[in-house]
Amino acid sequence: MQRLDQAVDVLEQLVTSPLRLQQSWRVRVREQLAAVCEALSEERTGTSDSWLSARAGHLQRERNRLIARVSVLAGMVSDSADVESLRQALLRVAQDVQHHAQRVSDLMYDAVAMEVGGSE
């Protein structure tokens, strides 16, 4: 998860930084989107507890949707004439990835708490 968090943080910094050289900015954003996509692809949400399997399945589907969105945005980075709307879309996907990462962390915490014998 740390790799995903770092990739999203760098993406947000790129997107919110002042735009100086548009072409190099686009190249760097595309590279960072690839890093986010790769980190998402490496994520594992499987769980052996049946009561968590529905959440794990939901997170896998959500991850696949995020990968698709990131891929579409990566294609748009090269072609989009409206940089401001592109920036807004990039910030939104970065926020959605962060929320997804938090839900994955919550799932992993619940799985460990169940194994150890949490407060319930």
Reference 64, options 43, 94, 47, 49; nearest CA is 43
Please report, for residues 48, 68, 80, 83, 87, the alpha-carbon distance to residue 77 in angstroms, rounded to integers and kept in the order given: 40, 14, 6, 8, 9
| The predicted structure's pLDDT at residue 53 | 83
Mean pLDDT score, 47-62: 81
115 band by pLDDT with thresholds 50, 70 and 90: low
Q: Position 22: which residue type?
A: Q
- Asked if pLDDT for residue 120 goes beyond 70, the answer is no
Question: Mean pLDDT, the chain, as a whole number?
Answer: 87
pLDDT digits (tens, 9 = 90+) for 66-109: 999 999 999 999 888 888 999 999 999 999 999 999 999 898 88
What's the per-residue H, E or C state across 23-47? HHHHHHHHHHHHHHHHHHHCCCCCC
Q: Provide the pLDDT confidence category of residue 44 given band limits of 50, 70 and 90.
A: confident
Rounded distance between C-alpha atoms, residue 12 and residue 34, angstroms: 14
Length of the chain: 120
* Residue pair 38/63 in contact by the 8 Å Cβ criterion: no
Entry pTM: 0.85
CATH architecture of 2-116: Up-down Bundle (1.20)
Q: Over 90: is that where the pLDDT of 48 sits?
A: no
Radius of gyration of the chain (CA): 17
- Domain residue ranges in the chain: 2-116
